[in-house]
A and B are shown apart, each in its own frame.
Chain A
Amino acid sequence: MPGHHIIIGGGLAGLTTAMKLAEEGEHVDLFSIVPVKRSHSVCAQGGINGAVNTKGEGDSPMIHFDDSIYGGDFLAHQPPVLGMCEAAPSIIYLFDRMGVMFNRTPEGLLDFRRFGGTKHHRTAFAGATTGQQLLYALDEQVRRYEAAGLVRKFEGWEMLGVVPDEAGDCRGVVAIDTRSLELRAFPGDTVMIATGGPGLIFGRSTQSLVNTGSAASACYQQGATYANGEFIQVHPTAVPGEDKNRLISESIRGEGGRVWTYKEGKPWYFLEEMYPAYGNLVPRDIATRAIHKVVFEMKLGVDGQPLVFLDVSHLDPVLLRQRVEGVLEIYEKFVGQDPTKVPMKIFPAMHYSMGGLWVDYSQQTNIPGLFAAGECEFQYHGANRLGANSLLSCVYGGDVGAKAMTAFAKSHKSDGSTRAHDLEVTRHREDFDRIFKMDGKENAFAIWRELGELMTENVTVVRYNDKLKATDAKLLELKDRWGKIGLNDKGKWANQEALFVRHLWNMLELARPITLGALNRNESRGAHYKPEFPERDDENFMKTTLATWSSDGPRFGWEPVDVSLIKPRARRYDVDKSATAAKPAEKAA
């Protein structure tokens, strides 16, 4: 008998899992708040990494692996990252076979571009809408299985929580129809969480509106461990906006874009000067901190504003249009200027969470039967993610997860009891009853804005312990004010406000392990930077932060990092990597 699986989320990770399970003949119920084709993964512009080595550069999965571990500042467990890098070329080939219109070389082969943190052309791309193209290819394959009756889609349904049985195994989920507000339990042999990043905790980020991290937070509150929450990637180049910060992809620098500002009346290409070996293609945390320094410490922002230039006006406009049209268009549409003529004005923005639900090497969380893949889990990027490695980790994680889910379902058949499901439905129904009775003075959307400003100011690029403590105190205050919300909309049909009130609570809960995780980590590593502790401290902190929910705040534990394959070494981008490595060739000789 085939297993019956529940997947929450239809981004790259969720759709890959669905496709892989259906291919094995397993049954899938796929849930997504937005139609899966509108998931956040469509936003990915730059591309997907894989050491296919078509440029005669001698690239290999081992070099990709080393770049990823080094870029992640030795915080990622190494074996799964190696697995991902080894699988990468075949993953790119698979997407090519599924019809993704990747850019081509004159010979008709796949073309590759350069991204940050590497010296190789390793990023396959379809114009500047790679995520969209990859997502659509998966969407099409999953639709094929839907037509064949193996996949049932629940679009417009939102997961509220998981259903643990008496033994603590996960036996399904409770979800709500965002239109009718019907609340139901869905039993399953396994559950996969693939709900993406928590960008909205930071108010305006580069992420999409459904990315509140609410589902991951719900799992955390039900006992799933949340790992490395403090590692938040701030992308160096985004256009600040009223509703979101729009990313200007790293591919712009990959194609030759330069970052500069005026110093003593002359253009100053500060990344090139500070980091001669990698120049504009240093990893994101490095570029972001450099921009922060230039703007806030040296006060050299463009027109005194927190902005610097990202410039492609010296490059061939025809070639640019062919390769990064989608990115140029975003700037044109939302700023109204042509970047091939006028340098873009950009500033760093919250972009990605390296942290997430803790999973083992088979993508299973600490709750048996509950799996996680994609941006909502912590496994592949250590302290800093390299550009174009996320799409890869979503697909790879989905694949690994699907195999483990099939095996789990075989050995853990449910006895058909629905007692636990009924209990959970009642709990969630009571929660909503309370929300519908809220008649205080506070507005949920206004509290959200305050949360975003608080987190962006204190828990992103530069972190100080006193400010982190104050932030956590403020979070408790916001939770208090959450109780004083007045619901404007008491309607029982498509009530987005009532649903948002729940998201907001979950955001506040998840903001705490992020903030306190940062407070606990007294070192600087990858995206996590404390001026009071400017060095990486392997002796005390080469370990994964593990947060467990309790009613009086997150409890913390730690887990050692598996560094069995590459020996940790200092991470520098002002010189070539070879200068930082122990010289194995000499030793061997």
Chain B
Amino acid sequence: MAERTTVLRIKRQENPRSATYWEEFEIPYKANHNIISMLMEIRRNPVTREGKRTTAVVFDANCLEEVCGSCTMVINGRVRQACSQLAEGLNGTVTVEPMSKFPVVRDLWVDRSKMFDYLKKAHSWIPIDGTYDLGPGPRVNPQEQQFAYLFSRCMTCGCCLEACPQVNDHSKFMGPAIIGQVYLMGQHPTGAMHQDERLQALMGEGGIADCGNAQNCVEVCPKSIPLTTAIGDVGGQVSRKWLRDLFAK
């Protein structure tokens, strides 16, 4: 019997402006292989299935335990982290592509800096008075902490943007992740004091009004962050602010 293997069909691209092409690699099966460890096998011996010498596939990865968000790719049509996609459970040829909602740097590496820009735009931080010793922070209800904690695990991976139909070339929609973060900041007693600034950022172009409620985002979030709950809640906060602003005029 032939040795079991995994075939990776990888979409490649030399640089942001060049054309894409596909290459296939065949890797001996190991139960604890994952997509990244298979890409590492390719680096050690960059030869395609047809026996052609090629360059190592370029990819983005760091933690290898699904906590840094780096290695997000589209695997068999589904966006997810490559490091936690085990070879076990994959059959036949596996297609691996870079995410489509972000510019490709090279091969599987994409540029997600726009997500960091959104965090800046939405003032996603707690404006403390200073880092000097001011004693303990505010008390927090343990139940509320448990719920807020869910949102604090967002690793800016971009899965939810990739899956959201409203994030596309024709729209400026910032996507669901930033809404989750604005929700989180508003849950903290100090953060809540400054929530208006953040809501303001979500009221303009590319803000929360662009969400079409397709709910794809919650389904793909690897950290199971209740994004639609945040979208609903922050949507309410935005409406209330809008009314308040109206009457304040």
Contact = CB atoms under 8 A, between A and B. Distances in A.
A98 B139 contact: no
Contacts of B54: 488
Interface in A17-50: 19-20, 23, 34-35, 37-40, 42-43
Given A23-B130, A109-B139, A241 B68 contact: no
Contacts of B65: 43, 244, 246-247, 330, 334
Contacts of A34: 62, 68, 70
Interface stretch (B145-153, B161-169, B213-221, B233-241): B145-153
Contact of B152 (A23, A38, A136): A136
Given A94-B131, A133-B152, A40 B32 contact: no
Given A143-B124, A491-B14, A105 B37 contact: no
A109 B142 CA distance: 9
B146 A322 contact: yes
B156 A209 contact: no
Contact of A179 (B40, B53, B105): B105
Interface in B80-112: 83-84, 86, 88, 105-106, 109, 112
Interface string B108-142: 01001100100110011111101101111111111
Given A129-B67, A208-B62, A19 B131 contact: yes
Given A96-B136, A99-B191, A243-B64, A494 B105 contact: yes
Contact of B56 (A137, A141, A449, A489): A489
Nearest to A133: B152
A333 interface: yes
Given A97-B190, A208-B68, A243-B37, A104 B105 contact: no
The bracket for how many chain A residues form the interface is 35 or more
A132 B67 contact: yes
A108 interface: yes
Given A132-B155, A143-B125, A93 B55 contact: no
Interface residues of B, number: 71
Contacts of B249: none
Interface string A441-463: 00101100100000000000000
Nearest to A135: B68
Contacts of B152: 100-101, 126, 129, 132-133, 136
Contacts of A488: 46, 53-56
Given A42-B67, A129-B153, A496-B56, A140 B14 contact: no
A99 B151 CA distance: 12
Contacts of B145: 101-104
A532 to B, nearest CB: 36
A210 B60 CA distance: 11
B197 to A, nearest CB: 11
A97 B134 contact: yes
Contact of A493 (B14, B112, B131): B14
Contacts of B32: 241-242, 334
14 contacts: A34-B62, A42-B67, A43-B63, A43-B68, A108-B139, A108-B142, A129-B67, A144-B123, A144-B127, A208-B62, A242-B40, A243-B40, A488-B55, A493-B14
Given A35-B156, A37-B156, 15 more contacts: A23-B130, A34-B62, A37-B69, A37-B155, A42-B67, A104-B142, A141-B125, A241-B37, A242-B30, A242-B37, A243-B64, A488-B56, A491-B55, A494-B58, A496-B58
Pick the 3 closest A-B CB pairs, nearest first: A96-B137, A108-B139, A140-B125
